[in-house]
Structure 1
Amino acid sequence: MPRKIAGAEVLLKVKQNETLIPVAGQQGMTINLSADTMDVTDKTSDGWKTYMPALKEWSIDQDVFYTVGDQSNKLLLDAYLNGRTVVVDVLAGEEDEAGSIHFTGEAYITSFPFDFSLDNAASVSMSLSGASALTVEVKEVAP
């Protein structure tokens, strides 16, 4: 039966060795999918510009409370500082649920700003940019 899912159910996980670990302190997350287009307008397009698909890209914006002593925060900061990729995994829905979407890919952390506001918990609003194709698997829905 179709159901809506809460954003709180969807977690960003990163691979450490062969284990997926949830990123600690997660708040908001946005997965950005975008594509460029190529202008293929010619003299026969009746004065209208025409386009075709070109390169695609993806990124993730993730807000977290910085969690002292947490392994996932250390792994992400180390990857940023050393210019290494991380393997990311996001599942929207349950693994065996019809219509669930599973995103996996390799990404570079391109931004890792710390916020140490007086009136808030310490946080990081990191950005990850795809370093490879994003794998998107949608679980089949029975007719």
Structure 2
Amino acid sequence: MPVTLPANPSQSNATVGKDYLLYVNTGTADVPVWTLIGGQRSADLSRSADEIDVSHKTSGGWKGSKAGLRSWSIDLGAMVVLDDTGLSALETAFQNGSEINVKLKYPNNTVQTGWGSLTEFSLSTPHDGAAEISGTISGNGPLSARAEDS
């Protein structure tokens, strides 16, 4: 007889990185086909804003800053899976200098999407380890707000 265990109802449970996945659109902008990039080890999202100095003489000697232009990027690390469609899409995009449409999926089934360029794409093939790729997707425009995956 199967045993059913309750789920922890705490909203403060931490998540683990293995449950975050990066996809690349291999369809069209109008009808996306989200293809998982296989062999993923990491997909690190970075967001930043230029710092604008708004200091003035009457600030009491304190410097002031405001956020300026914002940017995002994803640093990807993955094992090489030779017949992987997601990896093939990345290779094609890099070779052609094409932008890619990506989706970062969170463990709670929410996603963020955006367009970017693969600005770094490396292959590491050590004699005593697994073959791995690494790359950076630099955003072109905004990364969407998190929304429920459709």
Aligned partners of 2:58 and 2:46: how far apart in 1?
35
* Counterparts of 1:63 and 1:92, CA distance in 2: 17
Deviation at 1:67, TM superposition (A): 1.1
In the TM superposition, what is the alpha-carbon distance from 1:79 to its structure 2 partner? 0.3
| Aligned twin of 1:81 | 95
Q: Does 1:4 align with 2:14?
A: yes
- Pairing of 1:16-95 with structure 2 (within 5 A): 16-17=26-27, 18-95=32-109
Normalising by structure 2, what TM-score? 0.84
CA shift digits 1:43-92 (9 cap, x unpaired): 11111111111011100001011111211111101101111111110121
* Whole-Å separation in 2 of the counterparts to 1:86 and 1:29: 15
Deviation at 1:94, TM superposition (A): 2.4
Q: What is the identity percentage for the equivalent residue pairs of Structure 1 and Structure 2?
A: 29
Q: What residue in structure 1 maps to residue 113 of structure 2? A: 104
Q: CA deviation at 1:138?
A: 5.7
Q: TM (normalized to structure 1)? A: 0.88
Rg comparison, structure with higher value: 2
- In the TM superposition, what whole-angstrom CA distance separates every residue of 1:18-52 from its partner, at most 9, and x where no partner exists? 21011011002210011112111111111111111
SS of the equivalent of 1:112 reads strand
1:93 Cα deviation from its structure 2 partner: 2.1
**Equivalents in 1 of 2:25, 2:118: separation in Å?**
14
Q: Match for residue 136 of structure 1?
A: 145
Task: Give the SS at the match of 1:136.
Answer: coil
Gap regions ≥5 residues in structure 2: 1-8
Task: State the 4+ residue runs in structure 1 displaced beyond 4 angstroms.
Answer: none
How far 1:121 moved relative to its partner? 1.1
Q: CA RMSD in A?
A: 1.3
Q: How many residues align?
A: 134
> Which of 15, 40, 45 is the matching residue for 2:25?
15
